[in-house]
Amino acid sequence: MMTGLELYIHIPFCAKKCNYCDFLSFRTIPSVHTAYIRKLKEEIAYCAAKCEGRSVSSIYIGGGTPSVLEAELIESVMNMLFERFCVEEDAEISIECNPGSTLRHKFAAYKRCGINRLSIGLQSANNDELRTLGRIHSFEEFLKCYQGARMEGFNNINVDLINCIPGQTASTWKKTLKNIVMLKPEHISVYNLIIEPGTPFFRMNEDGLLELPDEETDEEIDEFTRSYLKQTGYERYEISNWSKPSYECRHNIGYWTEREYLGMGLGAASFFDGMRFSDTSDLQRYLELDFSDPDIEKKLHIEKKELSREEEMEEFMFLGLRMTRGISATDFLVRFKVKVESVYGDKLKKFTDLKLMEKEGYRYRLTERGMDVSNVIMSEFLLSEENDKGEISEDEK
């Protein structure tokens, strides 16, 4: 029986850097696109040789903005993936798209080369908010893009949205969400804006130039999102993600349930053969890699490490708790040979007493209130900050 594996392909190019974005992405010229894809295909061939006995259950092409590339470059990458890897017949294959750079002929090319899921980055249906974010498209262009995808036969589409945008009101957010639900996408991702260091928004916020929604508006936005999506047939299965039944993003669920994945492309992260590592994030270094070099592993991969037992426990908790189904105490016991209450009992009791978590049977999960403050909760499940506990003794089990 073959072992399952997910693949992530990173395309670091954008038409324009958005004001909130801290991802590894930048503007380049078409000749760099071609050189990058040539090198990416060399990496695909190199990595595939290490994956005998593994079948690929999902592929995710992210960025950056993959749709900024010429369609034939994406096709060539997909052809190489199918040629070199054992891709399962029903594999979920996604690509991220920007409404300002995805013309209908690209959708036809994506369909032709095996892509079956689109993630379209709208962010807001309000053109003033789009300009504030620094997006290159309008809502009208998104509608044209969405219609083009449907006409090409795509029946699994996610729409990305951001709330708590500077200047946004509860009213403008409600209008955005209603406009999108009317289109009936299979999946909706809703992210709260985070002001990240190094972004234009961070500098503007430090200078007092951003008018962010107040706490009361935040709460109204969150409450409306939960109630409206639920009543219109979307099920929340993760902190930021809602879907129609059976349309959950299988690739992302793999991340949250610690399925092994292999990332290829500039800065792409991997969890493979029990190790976590990333590709180099230096574009020039990446383009100069020689995959026949005996030392290529050292030059390609950085920050390679095997997780300690404590780090594995941490990941089990803060990845699993992102899911609305939460974590299984039974799975924790089977994997770590110790009860989850022996390791995290004080935290579990604290958050349960505060009604931020709940226990049903053998599962612990965040309540809706808990999901609203999930970042604070997750940070308390870090064992490495607690006096180097070491191994759990037998009498603690």
Full DSSP string of 173-206: HHHHHHHHHHH--SEEEEEE----TTSHHHHHHH
The region of weakest confidence among 117-121, 176-180, 304-308 is 304-308
380 within domain boundaries: yes
Q: What is the CA radius of gyration of the chain?
A: 22
Q: What CATH number does the domain containing 167 carry?
A: 3.20.20.70
Residues 206 and 60 in one domain: yes
**For residue 369, is it within any domain?**
yes
Look at the chain and report how many structural domains it folds into: 2
Residue 280 lies in a domain: no
Final residue before a domain boundary, out of 217, 239, 255: 255
Tokens of 192: 């709260």
Compute the distance between CA of residue 45 and CA of residue 32 in angstroms, rounded to an integer.
Answer: 20
What one-character DSSP code corresponds to residue 24?
Answer: S
Q: Are residues 110 and 219 in the same domain?
A: yes
- Tell me the pLDDT band of 236, cut-offs 50, 70 and 90: very high
Which residue in 200, 197, 265, 188 sits closest to 229, CA to CA?
Answer: 188
Chain segment 40-93, per-residue pLDDT in tens: 999 999 999 999 999 999 999 999 999 999 999 999 999 999 999 999 999 999
Instruction: Read off the pLDDT band of 3 (50, 70, 90).
Output: confident
278 assigned to some structural domain: no
Domain co-membership, 236 together with 362: no
Q: Based on the domain organization, do 86 and 7 belong to the same domain?
A: yes
* Residue after which a domain boundary falls, among 232, 255, 278: 255
Is the separation of the CB atoms in 127 and 138 below 8 Å? yes
* CATH at 353: 1.10.10
How do the residues of the chain divide into helix, strand and coil, expressed in percent and rounded to 5? 45, 25, 35
Query: How distant, in Å, are the alpha carbons of 37, 108, 130, 381 from that of 202?
Result: 32, 39, 17, 28
- Please state, in angstroms and rounded to a whole number, the distance separating the CA atoms of residues 12 and 64: 4
In a domain, 298, yes or no: no
58 and 200 housed in the same domain = yes
Please indicate, yes or no, if residue 266 is contained in any of the structural domains: no
Same domain, 102 and 217: yes
Q: Specify the 3-state DSSP secondary structure of 343.
A: helix
Give the residue numbers spanning the domain of 371: 309-396
Q: Are residues 37 and 120 in the same domain?
A: yes
Query: 135 and 123 in contact (C-beta within 8 Å)?
Result: yes
C-alpha to C-alpha distance for 188 and 332, rounded to whole angstroms: 30
Residue 204 lies in a domain: yes
Residues 6+ apart with CB under 8 A from 278: 263, 267, 268, 269, 270, 301, 302, 303
Rounded Cα distance between 354 and 45, Å, is 51
355: phi then psi, degrees, rounded to nearest 5: 65, 25
- Check whether residue 196 and residue 332 sit in a common domain: no
Give the pLDDT band (50/70/90) at residue 101.
confident
Q: What is the pLDDT of residue 11?
A: 98
Query: What's the average model confidence in pLDDT over 241-258?
Result: 97
Do residues 54 and 189 share a domain?
Answer: yes
DSSP state for residue 85 in the 8-state scheme: S
- Identify the domain boundary among 255, 270, 289: 255
Whether residue 345 sits in one domain with residue 231: no
Residues 125 and 226 in one domain: yes
Closest C-alpha among 370, 336, 335, 379 to residue 351: 370
209/313 same-domain check: no
Q: Is residue 294 part of a domain?
A: no
Separation between Cα atoms, residue 266 and residue 10, nearest integer Å: 6
Is residue 388 very low, low, confident or very high in pLDDT (cuts 50, 70, 90)?
Answer: very low
Interatomic CA distance for residues 195 and 359, integer angstroms: 33
Lowest mean pLDDT among 24-33, 267-276, 315-324: 24-33
Task: Write the pLDDT tens digit of every residue in 314-362.
Answer: 999 999 999 999 999 999 999 999 999 999 999 999 999 999 999 999 9
Q: What average pLDDT does this structure show over 104-127? A: 96
Confidence at residue 312, expressed as pLDDT on a 0 to 100 scale: 94
Q: Classify the phi-psi angles of 387: left when phi > 0, otherwise alpha if psi is within -120 to 50, otherwise beta.
A: left
Report DSSP letters for 205-242, one per residue.
HHTT------HHHHHHHHHHHHHHHHHTT-EEEETTEE
